[in-house]
Amino acid sequence: MHRAARYAFLQSTSTKSCRFLILSSFRQGKIVPYKLTDIGEGIREVTVKEWFVKPGDKVSQFDNICEVQSDKASVTITSRYDGLVKVLHYKIDDVALVGNPLVDIELEEQLDNEISQEENAQERHPQEKPEMDRASIFPKDVVMSGENLLGKVLATPAVRRIALENNINLKDVTPTGRDGRVLKEDILAHLKGRFGNAEEEKDSGKVAPVKEYAKHMWKTMTKALSIPHFTYSDDCDVTKLMLFREEIKGALKREGISLTYMPFFVKAASNALEKFPHLNAWLDEESQSVKMVEQHNISIAMDTPEGLVVPNIKNVQNLSIVEIARELNRLQQLGKKCSLPLSDITGGTFCLSNIGTIGGTYMKPVILSPQVAIGAVGKIQKLPRFGERDSVIAVNLLSVSWSADHRVVDGVTVAKFSNKWKHYVENPLLLALGI
């Protein structure tokens, strides 16, 4: 029986008690290697970040098996079978290859026969990819967390193991996960706080392999070396923008939305792109053509605990500044947990980077191929400038730097686009009205 059909069959014909009966009558069956299926986006390998099961654990379909991290996103792998976990093929931080077994699962006998039939069918029709293959992989954010029964602290077995090995009471760890779940990063932060500098000294000579997000950065930045960058910078007076934001950010805070400058910069980019669609585009080197994209999917360079990652806010042309803020907040929350799913990372059409949260003025931003342009802003600084009749006045200046692919974009286009962006950033009311 087709796996999806079998699952539907189990759902529709088995009442909960029947399902329980099936599990309770578990008998030894065939051991199947559960392979890492194709995650898409050309991902060939992933790093195993966390196991949610251990040998001897009973699993049901859709139970979490492990969390893996590709160079683009974090993915939770779930079980496709009911059965007993026999072997884990990787240790934490090992690199797993697509197509190779992740775990061996001893099947429940009833399903054993069906799996054999499916495998036979698959061999006969290898091009037919069962829907359950795709259903077994969920972006981390759509996987349900466990239940907090009897006031127990929520944590995965991996986190519990770290707590046990380091003699930590999980109740002492500040949780940041959903429903108060203690995440791995929480316990690591707790440990770091406990051992502080000693741990850093111990690590000072450590060799760190380039993995995950950094691996993606390696690829994209190496690719960017072949792009002739045209870079252009300017200063913007953001005094009015600062007053405008000050007026509304309190009210939004009460609604749980953090309004920084970024949503204004993103909206200004989208408004300016309406006039310069050549900059919201993908370059196809092979066919030497540029595709202007209708959607403004603005990529945001984001600093996360695992390094640089660049998710994008989709269809900014249809979003208000507040909606952009809400979406940015969501991406930042996921970024903090290194849990950004592929859907948030792929499809960007134009990029903005705000290194001004750390400092700096002018940059030479690096283009994120196949995009053709990127902007980077520095830190807002209060500086003296000449006003009317040569009086010296204090202004709040933001420096912005743009890079464009000079094979397909000329300097004048970049300068005109920058002027348009500056017009919106300097006049937030006109930005909000789109004038």
The residues carrying an active-site annotation are: 406, 410
Is residue 299 at the binding interface for ligand CAO, with CB under 6 A as the rule? no
Cα separation, 168 vs 153, in Å, equals 13
Instruction: Answer for the pair 252, 259: CB distance below 8 angstroms, yes or no.
Output: yes
Among 7, 12, 52, 3, CA closest to 32: 3
In the numeric block, the tokens 């500086």 are attached to: 383
Is residue 268 at the binding interface for ligand CAO, with CB under 6 A as the rule? no
Q: Residue 52 has which token pair? A: 């949610």
- Give the residue, chosen from 29, 130, 348, 356, that forms a contact with ligand CAO under the rule CB under 6 A: 356
Tell me how crowded residue 146 is: count the other CB atoms within 10 A of its CB: 15
φ, ψ dihedrals at 349, nearest 5°: -120, -20
- Give the residue, chosen from 96, 159, 302, 319, that forms a contact with ligand CAO under the rule CB under 6 A: 302
The smaller minimum CB distance to ligand CAO, of residues 4 and 257, is found at: 257
The smaller minimum CB distance to ligand CAO, of residues 37 and 332, is found at: 332
- Give the residue, chosen from 68, 96, 102, 262, that forms a contact with ligand CAO under the rule CB under 6 A: 262
Residue 375, SS3 per DSSP: strand
* Residue 140 CA neighbour count, 13 Å, CB half: 24
Task: Give the binding-site size for ligand CAO (rule: CB under 6 A).
Answer: 18
Cα separation, 104 vs 120, in Å, equals 19
What is the closest distance, in whole angstroms, from the C-beta atom of residue 196 to ligand CAO in the complex?
25
- Give the residue, chosen from 300, 334, 409, 414, that forms a contact with ligand CAO under the rule CB under 6 A: 300
What is the closest distance, in whole angstroms, from the C-beta atom of residue 380 to ligand CAO in the complex?
4
What is the closest distance, in whole angstroms, from the C-beta atom of residue 419 to ligand CAO in the complex?
20
φ, ψ dihedrals at 49, nearest 5°: -95, -35
* Residue 350 CA neighbour count, 13 Å, CB half: 33
Is residue 137 at the binding interface for ligand CAO, with CB under 6 A as the rule? no
Cα separation, 395 vs 382, in Å, equals 6
Question: What is the amino acid identity at position 159?
Answer: V
Is residue 260 at the binding interface for ligand CAO, with CB under 6 A as the rule? yes
- Give the residue, chosen from 163, 272, 321, 377, that forms a contact with ligand CAO under the rule CB under 6 A: 377
Span interacting with ligand CAO, options 63-71, 81-89, 372-380, 399-407, rule CB under 6 A: 372-380
Is residue 308 at the binding interface for ligand CAO, with CB under 6 A as the rule? yes
Cα separation, 18 vs 89, in Å, equals 32
- Give the residue, chosen from 353, 399, 401, 418, that forms a contact with ligand CAO under the rule CB under 6 A: 353
The smaller minimum CB distance to ligand CAO, of residues 38 and 237, is found at: 237
Q: Which residues form the interface with ligand CAO (CB under 6 A)? A: 260-262, 300-303, 308, 328, 332, 353-357, 377, 379-380
